[in-house]
Structure 1
Amino acid sequence: MVQYLVALAPTALVVAFFLLGTFNWSRHRTWTRALTCVFVLAVAGRYLYWRLTETVLPQPADGLGFYWVWFLFGIELLAFVDIVLFLVAMSRFVDRSAQADALAPAFFDRDASDLPSVDVFIPTYNEPLDVLERTIVGALSLDYPKEKLKVYVLDDKRRDWLREFCERKGAIHVVRPDNSHAKAGNMNHGLSVSSGDFIAVFDADFVPYRAFLRRTLPFFSDETIGIVQTPQHFFNADPIQTNLGIERLWPDEQRLFFDEMAPSRDAWDVSFCCGSCSIARRKALDAIGGFPTESITEDLLTTLSMLNKGYKTRYLNERLSMGLAAETLEGYFVQRERWCQGGIQTLYLHNGPIRGPGLNLFQRLMFLPTSWVVQYVVRFATLLVPIVYLWTGLAPLHFTDVAELVSYQFPVLAAYFLLMAWLTPTRYLPLVSSAVGVFATFRMLPTVISSLVRPFGKPFKVTPKGSGNETGLYDVYSFTWIAALIALTATGLLVNIVPEFQRIEDGRFSVVAFWWAGLNIVVLAIAALACFERPRRLLDAFATRESVILDDEIIGEAVSVALDKMVVAVPVKTRFASQEIAVRIADVPAFTGEIRAVTRRRRRLARAHDTRHHYLHVHYDLEGEARDAMIRKLYTGGYSQDVARIDKSALSWRLLGRAFGANRRRTA
């Protein structure tokens, strides 16, 4: 017992460092981040030295076990490199909002005629009108002199109905004779028919907030700035949130990058363009010959190409747009496989991080796609280790005793989890985050391997979104992998419980292996829930508490509003002459709606056990200016779907409910 208490001392030291120090410090101060990251790096270095000297080098060269131990240590070395780069990046943080405040007055303190001209590019291929109209209306509503602003809808599908829609709204519809070089080629054609000093890019499913140009343009007072990137926020739940039933409890999967990692990279001057929700200097684009076409991720390559020419990318971490997250698992993986392949492609290009001119060593290291290459290999190995041990007896290391493993490995795990809890308090929960990563592994690992072997073998593929994007039943491929690994792990545990069938000859590692296997089963079980698609709404509602006037005299409170429906709380005794009622809500011309349902209580949106109100489900089909006004009201800055904090208790109950078949459709 004493030896285990002594073995836990390093872990206790790590916990004390965070509880007594780090958790009491501001996570946005450079010295606190740097000190904490150096501490975690030291803990990881201690573990790695022990791994090499005590658990790898002593392994006798006696067959398969020798190669297995060295293979796993090689994977750990790759993970260590990735962690080092992550810690270096996260050791700084910058918030550019104050800088935007300071630059704006001087930039806009001139006549409108002297302001630079801006072209907004909306590249589109197969998105339906219900996706495109929000983006086009939002772009035309940008707070900027109209004589200095043009909106170009770059239509690579050459659709007559879209041309007619653009003509009605005042946007410029652009087509080209072919679809060469996909999105990059489409935008390069846009450059050839436009002349604005700056190019703002919004994917067809992203709506800019009215203040977008007011907040981003002042940064270009510095002639070395080539691009300003802003975060991507979403007005719908991604398929992971939806399938796990945790839309209101868990933030979307991209929040960790956009809210935490991107500002840290910007502090090191290694921020990069993410395509949509960005604005670029035309002069800088001309210097690199337009948007690069060598990679399917033209945004990342644009940043690298501009760095080659001495231009930098700035990141303004403000909510200045809102878009449509991938709605189905198919769209989710199409998107991430494209990002992964594009990142790996840069390794082979003349303007990439290895061969690109004008980059210093630090920039080259920070733009290596190590995370894409390493994370899925590590996750798969983590799942495989206990299975191999339980079925063959091959241990992942030359094992000494449990106490020594506790002394060296536990501090690393504690340091990493506590670091993430401090850096990203509302973006990370070990069990759920691990399950989401494991779920993606089975699709992404083949993409990593194929991209390394044949980086340019797969063409650009558009992420399916909108009304034509049908929800599938479940992800058979991933679920098959998950079910097989659960079966192998669980059966391996059962086999080794029965002495007659036991496969493990040397049981010193068995205690660790049993705990490891049990944890893997839990993580895989959560990942399995993500495989089953749940029903979705095409137009997601925004929670609000806003006054509404019904039939010119009844005052109600809207508790949720969407482009096609709202839920309004009215006193219980309220009566209407008919189902059709007049509706007045701020910023939108009066319109007619239809009451299709009346309920006593709205879950999540109304006060619990409210007996004083009925909730009217009012549906409507807006047209013309009323629809445009509702789009501007909902999507250009007034509403948010962000999860402010993680409710761990509610999250646990929701996942438990999903595991036992709770699959209610989320409604407005």
Structure 2
Amino acid sequence: MFGLLQVTEVQSAYASVLLAAGLALVLPLLLDPRNNVHRGLLFAIAIALSLRYIWWRGSETLAPAGLTWDCLFSWGFLLLEAAAVLSSMSSFVILARTRSRSEEVDRHQRWWEPEAAPRVAILIATYNEDLSVLERTIVGAEASDHPNCEVVVLDDGRRDWLRDYCQTRGTRYLRRPDNKGSKAGNINHALGVLAADPEPPQFIAVLDADFVPHRGFIPRALALFHDGKVGLVQTPQHFFNPDPIQHNLGLSRSYPDEQRFFFDHLQPSRDAWGIAFCCGTSSVIRWEAVQAAGGFPTDSITEDFLLTLSLQEAGFRTVYLNEPLTEGLAPEGLKEYVTQRSRWCLGLMQIARGRLGPLTRNGLRLRDRWSVIDSVFYWLTTFSFRLAAMTFPLLFWFFNVTVVDASVPDVIRYFGPYIVWILFVLNFISSGMVVPIVNDVGQLLGAIPIVRAAVTGLIKPKGHPFSVTAKGGDRTRVVVQWRLMMPFLVLTVLTLIGLLIGILSDRFAYNDAGDGKVIILFWTLYNLVILGVTLAVCVELPRVERHFADQPERVVISVDGALKRVWMTDLTQQSARIRGLALVAGHALEIKIRGVGVMPATVIEGTGDGGVLSLSMQPDQYDALLRRLYAEGNVPSVTSTRLGGILGDGLVRLVRR
């Protein structure tokens, strides 16, 4: 009889998971991810399942109260998990709505007519970037379709060569005597200079040194300023190169960059609630609004988010235009990747502790306070819980400490529907961007410095220097990031030792753990997979310049007086690869490239079926090439995923290592 009840209990548990999985297969055929009613229903169920799961965890899986290690770690892990679930539920509420402003832009194009087009100053903030990075941003900004733009380079590196380059182009160049206030201080200095002009701009656009605006960036963003209360328009950041996770795992074509979910889905949802925020680059700001806010705030190293709060307090809204209008350079190395995210975390904690914090008396709305609290919870809970999930199983293997005391049927019944449903809903609204393991690796990589930054920022919010994210440089060698890898390598070794001890030794917990051993075994094996992938990401592979949007095209070359039509398969700022004609290194020829013109070229490498050419261009041709590569056409980011593509690319990466 007891055995029959156990079988029935297991069947019931599996039935709940199968129901969730079945709905996940059917509902995409019936629902629209852009419909807010449909989204609200799906996320309401997600919140209900989250509450059901965490109630079960708190009521049935904890060690008995007492002065024991089981009690301490069991309750400690629950508190971390509950905080992470609470953060997720806040995100679910935000994601339950979404908004697109493209039709509004179409309706209000050139709203200022018949008056003259408003004057726009495009500010390019730079510190230590190379000319190869800066020149494409400057050329792209100068190519704007808006008829009344001025490009202004703000050089905090005080470099004479950059001043001379701007002078040859007729581009306005500004420098200041110090670097006080970092990027925000640099922009504020420029605002002071512009205010003294005979005709100050009516709008400013802010670009990082590595972000190239497309021709339509300014006119599309300006359309939303038809509403006089709009102080800032933020647009998404797209990237023409893979981030370190994409690149080092070989997923550049099948898995999106780490920021895609935020820019393509979370920001439009925040906009629907009226809490979209400035992300620095790729934004346009009303001059009147930034003056009313007192310029760019310098109280936080993430001045962009704080600017949104300052504008809101001054009576101006931030809105989000989810159109791919700029593309830039993602962090190319893991150190830069982690540094950037740690800086974001630290800056957010500074905001939370500052004058415009959620618990401070100020002019912010309730929803603005929620916005800050939601962001604080994300940085505080997501990464600390990820570290706990990786380390707490070791307590079982080495010290026989039970963190989660549950049976397999109960885990399947409560955790199964919860995780299946959440993965379904998040992937339904985002075209498959939330991929287990890869997503976990992205969180784990920066978890240690991010948790450190979160705690430091809350305890000591002031006195932290601004860390610049390095861009460009030599990326042609394999580099093992030993310092970043070491904690994960140690954790991998400890996990393997603990697992072997638990399985092989009669003295340790595995043999008398009952049903819990299956749970802890699965948990440990999953962690080992995550750690293995994380270690692989820490081996940085060589990079060569390649534009995501490259498509093979037919071109004409002139070789020894004869015209030949061949395929061009790669095009960069200095070179092109062609196929369809055997070439020998050192051979001189001419090539005609669409939109650029006819230019001399030299074969620098023969490839059997073609060759790699070094291009010799006139300055105007080079500008045209930069515009073609970075300022025209569609942005190249991966915006949806296919599981088959991810598995295939991952397998190729594994075989080639």
Distance in 1 of aligned mates of 2:652 and 2:454: 34
Distance in 2 of aligned mates of 1:18 and 1:595: 54
Shift in Å at residue 650 of structure 1?
4.1
The 10-residue stretch of structure 1 (494-503 or 318-327) with the greater mean CA deviation from structure 2: 494-503
1:334 lines up with 2:339 in the alignment: yes
Distance in 2 of aligned mates of 1:356 and 1:426: 41
Q: Deviations over 1:37-70 (max 9, x none)?
A: 00111111111222222224x7232422112121
1:563 corresponding residue in structure 2? 573
1:591 corresponding residue in structure 2? 599
1:581 lines up with 2:586 in the alignment: no
Distance in 2 of aligned mates of 1:615 and 1:442: 48
2:355 corresponding residue in structure 1? 350
1:392 lines up with 2:399 in the alignment: yes
1:175 corresponds to which letter in structure 2? R
1:226 corresponding residue in structure 2? 231
Distance in 1 of aligned mates of 2:392 and 2:424: 25
Distance 1:426 1:8, change over 3 A: closer
Structure 1 residue aligned with 2:610, among 615, 624, 648?
615
2:569 corresponds to which letter in structure 1? V
Distance in 1 of aligned mates of 2:201 and 2:477: 40
Shift in Å at residue 188 of structure 1?
0.2
1:375 lines up with 2:382 in the alignment: yes
1:78 lines up with 2:95 in the alignment: no
Please give the residue correspondences for 1:430-579 in structure 2 after superposition, counting only pairs within 5 Å: 430-467=436-473, 473-504=479-510, 505-538=512-545, 540=547, 542-551=549-558, 553-570=563-580, 572=581, 579=587
Shift in Å at residue 428 of structure 1?
2.2
Distance in 1 of aligned mates of 2:305 and 2:64: 43
Distance in 2 of aligned mates of 1:486 and 1:577: 48
Structure 1 segments unaligned to the other structure (5+ residues): 601-613, 664-668
1:409 lines up with 2:415 in the alignment: yes
Distance in 2 of aligned mates of 1:627 and 1:135: 13
Distance in 2 of aligned mates of 1:120 and 1:468: 29
Shift in Å at residue 132 of structure 1?
0.6
Distance 1:218 1:162, change over 3 A: same
2:114 corresponding residue in structure 1? 110
Distance in 2 of aligned mates of 1:324 and 1:506: 51
Residues 22 and 36 in structure 1, CA contact (< 8 A), matched pair in contact too: no
1:143 corresponding residue in structure 2? 145
Indicate the RMSD between aligned Cα atoms, in angstroms: 2.1
Residues 580 and 595 in structure 1, CA contact (< 8 A), matched pair in contact too: yes
2:316 corresponds to which letter in structure 1? Y
Residues 320 and 637 in structure 1, CA contact (< 8 A), matched pair in contact too: no
Shift in Å at residue 406 of structure 1?
1.7
Shift in Å at residue 357 of structure 1?
2.1
Structure 1 residue aligned with 2:45, among 28, 39, 42?
39
1:325 corresponding residue in structure 2? 330
Distance 1:214 1:425, change over 3 A: same
Distance 1:13 1:649, change over 3 A: closer
Distance in 2 of aligned mates of 1:469 and 1:350: 42
1:240 corresponds to which letter in structure 2? I
Residues 353 and 458 in structure 2, CA contact (< 8 A), matched pair in contact too: no
Distance 1:141 1:40, change over 3 A: same
Please give the residue correspondences for 1:616-655 in structure 2 after superposition, counting only pairs within 5 Å: 616-638=611-633, 640-643=635-638, 645-655=640-650
Distance 1:616 1:469, change over 3 A: closer
1:655 corresponds to which letter in structure 2? G
Distance 1:471 1:302, change over 3 A: farther
1:200 lines up with 2:205 in the alignment: yes
Q: Deviations over 1:611-636 (max 9, x none)?
A: xxx33322224341111110111111
Shift in Å at residue 9 of structure 1?
2.5
Distance 1:183 1:332, change over 3 A: same
Distance in 1 of aligned mates of 2:585 and 2:182: 55
Residues 583 and 611 in structure 2, CA contact (< 8 A), matched pair in contact too: no
Structure 2 segments unaligned to the other structure (5+ residues): 1-6, 195-199
The 10-residue stretch of structure 1 (510-519 or 418-427) with the greater mean CA deviation from structure 2: 418-427
Q: Deviations over 1:142-162 (max 9, x none)?
A: 1122xx321110111111111
1:606 corresponding residue in structure 2? none
2:202 corresponds to which letter in structure 1? D
Shift in Å at residue 539 of structure 1?
5.8
Residues 541 and 561 in structure 1, CA contact (< 8 A), matched pair in contact too: no
1:283 corresponds to which letter in structure 2? E
1:428 lines up with 2:438 in the alignment: no
Distance 1:541 1:567, change over 3 A: farther
Secondary structure of the equivalent of 2:636?
coil
Shift in Å at residue 355 of structure 1?
1.9
Shift in Å at residue 455 of structure 1?
2.5
**Residues matched between the structures, number:** 640
Shift in Å at residue 134 of structure 1?
0.6
Shift in Å at residue 651 of structure 1?
2.7
Residues 379 and 451 in structure 2, CA contact (< 8 A), matched pair in contact too: no
Shift in Å at residue 579 of structure 1?
1.4
Shift in Å at residue 581 of structure 1?
1.2
Residues 23 and 422 in structure 1, CA contact (< 8 A), matched pair in contact too: no
Shift in Å at residue 522 of structure 1?
0.6
1:175 corresponding residue in structure 2? 175
2:513 corresponds to which letter in structure 1? D
2:610 corresponds to which letter in structure 1? Y
Structure 2 residue aligned with 1:255, among 242, 245, 260?
260
Distance 1:549 1:348, change over 3 A: same
Residues 426 and 644 in structure 1, CA contact (< 8 A), matched pair in contact too: no
Shift in Å at residue 227 of structure 1?
0.5
2:589 corresponds to which letter in structure 1? I
What's the TM-score, normalizing by structure 1? 0.92
Distance 1:657 1:292, change over 3 A: same
Distance 1:426 1:620, change over 3 A: farther
Residues 402 and 512 in structure 1, CA contact (< 8 A), matched pair in contact too: yes
Secondary structure of the equivalent of 2:61?
helix
The 10-residue stretch of structure 1 (361-370 or 183-192) with the greater mean CA deviation from structure 2: 361-370
2:4 corresponding residue in structure 1? none
Shift in Å at residue 535 of structure 1?
0.9
Residues 128 and 468 in structure 1, CA contact (< 8 A), matched pair in contact too: no
Residues 123 and 207 in structure 2, CA contact (< 8 A), matched pair in contact too: yes
Secondary structure of the equivalent of 2:246?
helix
The 10-residue stretch of structure 1 (91-100 or 327-336) with the greater mean CA deviation from structure 2: 327-336
Shift in Å at residue 35 of structure 1?
0.3
Shift in Å at residue 85 of structure 1?
1.0
Residues 568 and 577 in structure 2, CA contact (< 8 A), matched pair in contact too: yes
1:5 lines up with 2:15 in the alignment: no
Distance in 2 of aligned mates of 1:221 and 1:389: 61
1:285 corresponding residue in structure 2? 290
Residues 156 and 179 in structure 2, CA contact (< 8 A), matched pair in contact too: yes
2:151 corresponds to which letter in structure 1? V
1:272 lines up with 2:270 in the alignment: no
Q: Deviations over 1:105-126 (max 9, x none)?
A: 544x435xx2211001001111
Distance 1:400 1:250, change over 3 A: closer
1:364 lines up with 2:374 in the alignment: no
Residues 122 and 153 in structure 1, CA contact (< 8 A), matched pair in contact too: yes
Distance in 2 of aligned mates of 1:290 and 1:472: 43
Q: Deviations over 1:397-433 (max 9, x none)?
A: 3x25221222111111111211222122242211211
The 10-residue stretch of structure 1 (650-659 or 363-372) with the greater mean CA deviation from structure 2: 650-659
1:298 lines up with 2:303 in the alignment: yes
Residues 584 and 611 in structure 2, CA contact (< 8 A), matched pair in contact too: no
2:288 corresponds to which letter in structure 1? K
Secondary structure of the equivalent of 1:93?
coil
Residues 100 and 218 in structure 1, CA contact (< 8 A), matched pair in contact too: yes
Shift in Å at residue 506 of structure 1?
3.4
Distance 1:580 1:237, change over 3 A: same
